[in-house]
Amino acid sequence: MTRLRPTLVRLAAALLAAAGLAAIAHAADAPRGADGLLAVPPLARVTDYAGVLSPQQKQALEDKLAAFEMAHGAQVAVLIVPSTKPEPIEDFAHRVGEAWKIGRAGIGDGVLVIVAKDDRRLRIDVARSLEGALPDVTARRIGREIMGPYFQRGDYAGGLSAGLDAIFQRIESEGLPAPSVQSADADADRLALLMPFVIGGFVIGVILRRIFGIPGSLLAAGGSGFLAAKVLASGLLGALAGLAVFVLTVGGGSHAARVLGGRRGGVFIPGGWGGWSGGGGGGGWTSGGGGDFSGGGATSDW
């Protein structure tokens, strides 16, 4: 048993690392269809297929977008790809906007920011109801004068953050309807997707800890985090699931082991989890059903 522990620790560490890097791993290659055009990726607030954002930078942008949606209702998404060629960035943006349908249904307050890194092109695509707040000339100025200089220095996170601030300022002046309770609770639904991974990992972690000690908790945490990251397409959610499982099994594992094991030392695994199915949509974020991207916005170079 003692000889197995170093191996288990290394395996658990590898699984935890995989969970933390899952969001980066999928960024290596943007998927393309049989026609050679970029496929529309799963819906997410921030998607980085070019690998220009660190996990911390990506999370900071997601938090900024989520906070704005909660406060004002409008939905803004960022998509970074290496290149849209051979398709013009305008056509690709239109396909993504129509597929994602960001913005609230009946209001259509969505904005899509697409960055094609290797093409050095940027598209701010604006849904119809926001074309007054973000006319083409304003969208072009934001892209060229605010975001472009950051991108020239290789500071994509800084450029996106500054550009989003300018976009938010214009949207705030539009006098849109207040957000509904449903949109304010969207992130709570996202976190709820973690529960099957945390509970399942906790049960398995209790069993493994009885057998292997702390390495067993690490193994359960790594496995739960890896599965959560892959199914929910979010390295952050995977890391949260793994951390929760580890803390629960280490902090409360001894008592739970006695409850699950009973007097005779057997292990009872509760049923009822087989029917769970993983969520999608870029880690649980859902569109408001708006869409209506009809060509408003502007393209800039840097």
Q: What is the pLDDT of residues 273-292, one digit of tens each?
A: 333 233 333 445 676 676 67
List per-block mean pLDDT (blocks of 10 residues) for the chain, which spans 302 residues. Answer: 57 54 49 82 93 95 92 92 95 92 84 97 92 93 97 98 96 74 52 80 88 86 83 73 88 51 41 33 59 84 94
pLDDT at 190: 58
pLDDT at 181: 53
Whole-model pTM over 0.75: no
Q: 3-state secondary structure string, 204-268? A: HHHHHHHHHCHHHHHHHHHHHHHHHHHHHCCHHHHHHHHHHHHHHHHHHHHHHHHHHHCCCCCCC
Q: Which two tokens stand for residue 39?
A: 């496929």
pLDDT at 179: 67
101: alpha, beta or left, given left = phi > 0 and alpha = psi -120 to 50? left
Of the candidates 187, 222, 214, the residue with the CA atom closest to the CA atom of residue 59: 187
Q: For residue 219, what are the CA distances in angstroms to 14, 16, 150, 202, 267?
A: 9, 9, 42, 11, 18
pLDDT at 272: 36
Angle at the Cα of 282 (from 280 to 287), degrees rounded to 5? 90
pLDDT at 47: 94
In CATH terms, the fold of domain 31-181+286-301 is: Diaminopimelate Epimerase; Chain A, domain 1 (3.10.310)
| One-letter amino acid of 124 | I
Q: For residue 55, what are the CA distances in angstroms to 39, 112, 134, 215, 282?
A: 23, 21, 29, 26, 15
What angle do the packed helices 235-261 and 55-72 form, to 10 degrees?
Answer: 90
pLDDT at 279: 30
pLDDT at 287: 64
Domain map (residue ranges) of the chain: 4-22+194-278, 31-181+286-301
